[in-house]
């Protein structure tokens, strides 16, 4: 695939994408710590969840989304999805001439600083990739890492069943092996999982430090923007929301999670697939 040229500008939006509402936890951190930046959020809700997809599928999805975002004039892309960061980041970085940031490395480094006995909860695909374990051990060779794939979390969060007793039972079951291993640090290895923070606080002992990689990712974004001279200083930024699935459903769930009403626009899969095919010719 030919490398695609892009000339980013300071006033361009930062593109943020995820399979669904999970990336909103990253968006919230960006809004809080980079308040002058305009943002474009894309949720690939027609193809959620990503956690049981193959690497080939995910790479195709990511190429389609970044190509579409490039057409919207974004100056930077943030892969607010651990699964796609684990399986597609390095490939698309080599194909697109714009800054593309993933979430795993910042989160792994934060975890390595926080503790020695580290548990990672994530999608099955992220767990199987060993991306977090490798990154944590590179940052701290003396660390011990336990990983648990949690296939039920994303569907439950996408349906806004966060307060459902069933979700608590599922979370308790997923955390059992990590508690048995006496972890001192827990990493949210999926951007959906910070939505479960109040539930996790009820289950986890207070001695366990919880790492939300989104916080470290935003720090990395700030450094990258400054280094490349892309920091936006305008006083009235805006945010656009797009989804590949049902915009009304997404607006309802995400509005409850974010605490404000969202105007969400649809982007059909045929448009995404057509753009990617055209770029590959």
Do 206 and 235 reside in the same domain of the chain? no
Query: Residue 90, Cβ neighbours under 10 Å: how many?
Result: 11
- Which residue is catalytic, options 66, 79, 81, 157? 81
Within-domain flag for 258: yes
Do 184 and 247 reside in the same domain of the chain? no
Within-domain flag for 5: no
Within-domain flag for 4: no
Q: Which of 164, 186, 213 is the last residue of a domain?
A: 213
Do 175 and 242 reside in the same domain of the chain? no
Do 152 and 92 reside in the same domain of the chain? no
Kindly report the CATH number assigned to the domain that includes residue 180: 3.40.50.1860
Q: Which of 192, 213, 234 is the last residue of a domain?
A: 213
Which parts of the chain sit beneath pLDDT 70?
1-8, 235, 276-281
Into how many domains does the chain fold?
A: 2
**150 annotated active-site:** no
Do 120 and 248 reside in the same domain of the chain? no
> Residue 91, annotated ligand binder?
no
> Residue 51, annotated ligand binder?
yes
Tell me the per-residue pLDDT of 202-258, one tens digit each, with 9 for 90 and over: 999 999 999 999 999 999 999 999 999 999 987 678 999 999 999 999 999 999 999
Kindly tell me the sign of the dihedral angle through the C-alpha atoms of 189, 172, 167, 174: positive
Do 85 and 223 reside in the same domain of the chain? yes
Do 139 and 198 reside in the same domain of the chain? yes
Within-domain flag for 3: no
Q: Which residues pair with 40 in a beta bridge?
A: 15, 240
Q: Which of 165, 194, 213 is the last residue of a domain?
A: 213
Do 21 and 98 reside in the same domain of the chain? yes
> Residue 19, annotated ligand binder?
yes
Within-domain flag for 9: no
Within-domain flag for 95: yes
**What pTM was estimated for this model as a whole?**
0.92
> Residue 172, annotated ligand binder?
no
CA 137 – CA 141 distance, rounded (Å):
5
Quick one: pLDDT at residue 14?
A: 97
- Which residue is catalytic, options 105, 121, 143, 190? 190
Do 97 and 220 reside in the same domain of the chain? yes
Segments forming the whole domain that contains residue 267: 14-102+216-278
Do 110 and 191 reside in the same domain of the chain? yes
What contacts 238, CB < 8 A, 6 or more positions away? 38, 39
Do 207 and 253 reside in the same domain of the chain? no
Within-domain flag for 7: no
Do 97 and 224 reside in the same domain of the chain? yes
Quick one: pLDDT at residue 7?
A: 47
219: closest CA among 134, 84, 119, 103? 103
Q: How far is CA 65 from the centre of its chain?
A: 14
């Amino acid at each position: 695939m030919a490398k695609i040229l892009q000339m980013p500008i300071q006033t361009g939006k930062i593109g943020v994408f995820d399979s669904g509402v999970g990336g909103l936890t990253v968006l919230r951190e960006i809004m809080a710590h980079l308040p002058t930046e305009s943002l474009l959020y894309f949720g690939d809700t027609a193809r959620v969840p990503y956690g049981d997809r193959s690497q080939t599928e995910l790479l195709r999805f990511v190429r389609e989304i970044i190509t579409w975002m490039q057409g919207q004039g974004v100056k930077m892309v943030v892969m607010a999805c651990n699964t796609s960061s684990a399986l597609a980041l390095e490939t698309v970085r080599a194909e697109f001439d714009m800054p593309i940031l993933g979430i795993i490395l910042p989160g792994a480094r934060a975890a390595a600083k926080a503790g020695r006995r580290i548990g990672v909860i994530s999608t099955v695909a992220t767990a199987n990739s060993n991306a977090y374990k490798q990154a944590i051990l590179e940052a701290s060779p003396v660390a011990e890492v336990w990983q648990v794939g949690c296939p039920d979390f994303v569907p439950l969060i996408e349906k806004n069943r966060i307060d459902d007793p069933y979700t608590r039972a599922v979370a308790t079951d997923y955390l059992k092996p990590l508690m048995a291993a006496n972890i001192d640090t827990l990493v949210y290895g999926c951007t959906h999982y910070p939505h479960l923070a109040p539930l996790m606080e009820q289950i986890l002992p207070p001695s366990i430090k919880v790492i939300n990689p989104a916080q470290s990712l935003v720090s990395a974004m700030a450094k990258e923007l400054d280094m490349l001279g892309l920091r936006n200083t305008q006083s009235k930024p805006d945010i656009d929301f797009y989804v590949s699935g049902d915009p009304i459903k997404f607006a309802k769930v995400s509005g409850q999670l974010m605490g404000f009403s969202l105007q969400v626009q649809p982007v059909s899969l045929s448009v995404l697939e057509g753009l990617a095919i055209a770029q590959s010719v």
